[in-house]
Amino acid sequence: MDERDSIYLDAVSINSDGPNARKSLYLSRQTVYHSAEELPLDGAVPDGSGTLRSIKTTTESLLNDSRANGGLPNLPYEPRPGGSSSFGGGILKRPGLTTKYNEETWNRFQDGKRVVDFVLAYNGQDQSEEMARKRATFQQNLQAEGLEIEPECSQRIHFIKIHVPQEVVSRYCEIMRMQMPTVKLPGQDNIAPKDFSVSGLLVKLFRRPLFSFVIIDRDKFRKREYQLKHEYTRDKSYLFDDGQPDFFTPSIRIAVAHFILERTYFNVGEENKYDIGLRKLLNDGVYLDAYPLHDGNTDMPEVECQRTLLLQEWASVIRWIKHQPLDHIKEYFGVKVAMYFAWLGFYTHMLIWASIVGLLCFFYGLLTFRDNRISQDICNDNTTIMCPQCDAKCDYWRLNDTCTTSQLAHIFDNNFTIVFAVFMSIWATLYLEMWKRYSSAIQHRWGITDYCSLAEPPRPQYLSRLKDSKKTIFNIITGTQEPSPPFWTRKLPSFLYSYSVIFLFITLAIAAVFGIVIYRMSLMTSRNIYGDPDAVSTKLLLLPATAAIINLIVSTILNFAYDYVAVYMTDIEYRRTQSEYNESLNLKIYLFQFINYYSSIFYIAFVKGKFPGYPAKYNRILTLRQEECSPGGCLMELCIQLAIIMIGKQIISLILEILVPFLLQKFREFRSVLGIESEESENGEKLICCNQWTKDFTLISWTDRSLFEEYLKMIIQYGFITIFVVAFPLGPLFALLNNVFETRLDAKKFLLYYKRAVPQRVRNIGMWYNVMHVLGKVAVISSAFIIAFSSNFIPRLVYMYVVSQDKTDRGYLNHTLAYFNVSDFEPGAAPIASKFENVTVCRYHEYRNPPGADRAYKRPLIYWHILAIRLAFVVIYQNVVSFVQIVVAWAIPDTPGRLQDQIKREQYLTNEFIIQQEKLKTRERKCGRNGSSKRRNGTLARQQSSLEEYGTTVSLTEEEGEDENYVRRRPNGGTDPYNHERFQECEIVTSRV
């Protein structure tokens, strides 16, 4: 190809001389701009050999070139001193411009036919000869692999456009063991695969005409015919219709391009055997970025493309109620991203059932709170005087001051709570088991059931750190010697240092929670911080609310700080592969966020109010009294804390979900389009976006952590609605509402603000399934302890069946309040001033003997009975629920029986078809070997002519050309050559020949 053709001038150079040049560029955004006075009559461009050849530049030739290139003229090219003329080492002296959309050139090579599958971008102003040499070697090696390359060097940012030819795609599909759709096999029509959708009664209901509004528009997302899949191999080409132009989809082409880029060397010599792969080139700054192109321009929605369709019909918030087009998402983003959205959609559907039961629990409490005996006793009691809540500055208060709090507490702590807790424990197990069934259908449909990742190459950072290492280890998989860090002097110290810092930050998160606890204790000593000191109920609500808001702010700040620390600490470790690195980083971040978000809730659920002491001997921390639960229990405060942290985190995440990518992408676009002045360059980083690769360059780069952040948010939410759902039955409902918008905002973010993700194959959601499985087990234990120790369920049950004469809870409140003689206050604890007169006895929430008893203020026997029953309840609840979980998991097979039968049927049909085809090939070979060499040419012609009469196309590979009688068959047009009778006829024809 002429080098002049490779300089496809579809963007403006920012190296124009003079101050008026910038202004003229802006005025020419929608025109073809050139100046005959500024352009030299004789120009020079590099030819294919790297030398310069002269051309004659005229206005007429510019216009002709413009018409030929869709409005983009070819202009003179000036070599840059020290640059490589073969790979864009020069700059455009005076370019032309058009920003109008042209389908033939928007995402294609200059010839308008070859599609750009991948793009490499680098700074054209880089004068480093070493980097230029690496780029040249790398690109030459890419061409040696069969990739086609076209440089685009019209701006300061130079682009290398890469196209993967059909032969390369087919060869690497075989190497990568891709599962590809087969031709229609005999008997395939008898297979009736189950519809690909979220299984369950709710979705079956939604399929009815009344709920047709939830079904995606089949006119836009056409339901694709189900195709069997088989591992691609060129030796069995009769299985695949790979001659069709759309057989290898764009996502497959991108995956193949990325596979080659990650395994291509950019240096020569034995000493540079680890200089391999695109990731290391990006890490060393040889290339600025590397990315596949999005499909279409979002600024022109009238132009039909897959990206615009997904943006309008899937990523739009107004389509929130419709199902997701998972097959189309997989074709665009690949399996890894599509699997995330499939899981998120399934999780959101399952939340519907949890939300319904949670609402029933809430409404039950709402309808019965006025009839609650404890609330009635509190609200009707005008005589009971309670002991002060803090030392000296706090006054006595009346029990009925907490009337509102006790009524609100009953909404969440009622008889239905334990039913809801058991349901959620079973729901967690049912959800995981149903997801395995659902994902098995996804795996089969997408051809990833038997997928396993290939042996990963070492990380560039890992190899660079071991460049001078003398120790090597034999890699059994690759069969080569690789450098290895000494365990005692490098590997172990790095791990100890890394996890010591991580442990320090986890301790810091716990210390932050401890600081908030101290803050709450100190606030209790101030009488006027909330205004009227008599408003006890207001204090009991505002105090935990403000503490929860502070905790949310501190947790968010710590998360941002910890992310940088976790990345830095993981970089210190010697993680060989990128998967090992990602798993280590993900584990660190999740452990920290688990502690950061859950520790304050654990404190209220399991610590607060459990060991406060009594007025004669309070238990103290830093001279401050420990917090006490209200007479209604700590569950109300736990609900407030959980609601604020969970809902607040979701609101912050939703805002940042779209705001941060939007602002970041706009900043990159602003910097590239308008330019930012720099010291070494007059025009900064200006970039005119007038094709797909320049437009996508301003988008946010896709990284290994892009999808991890999305999973992490959902798993943290899952912990909220399982571990602490007893305290907040509305948690699943708020999670459901959040996820409805989360799905659409994630989709919009990935389509609009991020570069296109490289399609990757995965079997499942990875480590996150195991994390959810562990959270399900923790949720059972947590629910048991919350019901037993944070609610009134067990004490009230013991009172009704052991203490009460009429087996009711009448008098239960008075039974839980102990007496205290105010003359027994410890020094400094009695109120300095009080509005109550002649107070001799006050009450406090504890099980203790009265002042005049033999063992004054000691624990009575009933306390130990209640404690024993609480512990027994924890054991019984945990074992019973765990047993039910085991039964549910056992009763639900991981793979539906119908799918198993379908897989077996498909394997049988495929094997039978392969056997028949191999028999036919063997017979053809035998027939060819017995034929006369003088008749081979004529025999081959007759074979082809005869077989084509029966709808069969004949083709020969180079290897098969040695034996001209060897015939390969593949389907022709819309006929079905795989009918049994057709086989017999083909065999008869072959035998005649």
The token duo for 342 is: 């499939």
DSSP 927-990: HHHHS-GGGHHHHHHHHHHHHHTTTEEEE--TTGGGSTT--EEEE-TT--TTSHHHHHHHHHHH
The β-bridge partners of 754 are 700
For 689-715, the three-class secondary structure string (H helix, E strand, C coil) is: CCCHHHHHHCCECCCCCHHHHHHHHHH
Distance CA 128, CA 131 (A): 5
- Burial class from Cβ neighbours inside 10 Å (0-12, 13-18, 19+) for residue 56 reads exposed
Q: In the prediction, which pLDDT does 359 show?
A: 92
| Residue whose C-alpha is closest to residue 736's, from 439, 353, 362 | 353
Q: In the prediction, which pLDDT does 168 show?
A: 92
Q: In the prediction, which pLDDT does 10 show?
A: 36
pLDDT per 10-residue tile (average), the chain, 993 residues: 37 37 36 32 37 34 35 37 38 42 76 90 82 90 92 86 92 88 79 52 48 70 78 86 85 92 78 74 88 84 81 87 89 93 94 92 86 84 85 82 81 84 90 91 86 66 71 66 74 82 84 80 56 50 72 80 82 79 84 84 81 82 75 73 84 82 78 50 56 87 86 91 87 92 91 91 88 91 87 87 85 88 85 84 89 86 92 92 89 86 86 87 73 45 41 40 39 37 38 35
Distance CA 238, CA 915 (A): 12
CB crowding 16-38: b at 16 or more within 10 Å, else e: beeeebeeebeebeeebbbeeee
> Scanning the structure block, which residue is given the tokens 């070599």?
79
The length of the chain in residues reads: 993
| Residue whose C-alpha is closest to residue 983's, from 932, 916, 930 | 916
Going through 233-392 in order, the beta strands assigned E by DSSP cover: 289-291, 385-386
Distance CA 338, CA 309 (A): 16
State the sign of the Cα–Cα–Cα–Cα dihedral 728, 729, 731, 734.
negative
Contact of 516 with 550, CB cutoff 8 Å: yes
The number of helix segments (H) and strand segments (E) in the chain equals 29, 22
Q: In the prediction, which pLDDT does 54 show?
A: 34
| Residue whose C-alpha is closest to residue 469's, from 489, 487, 491, 484 | 484
Spell out the alpha helix ranges (H) of 610-730. Answer: 635-674, 692-697, 706-723
Contact of 13 with 6, CB cutoff 8 Å: no
DSSP state of 786: I
| Residue whose C-alpha is closest to residue 461's, from 582, 574, 564, 589 | 574
pTM of the predicted structure, to 2 decimals: 0.78
DSSP 542-586: HHHHHHHHHHHHHHHHHHHHHHHHHHHHHHHS---SHHHHHHHHH
Amino acid at 703: T
> Scanning the structure block, which residue is given the tokens 């991580």?
502
Contact of 3 with 45, CB cutoff 8 Å: yes
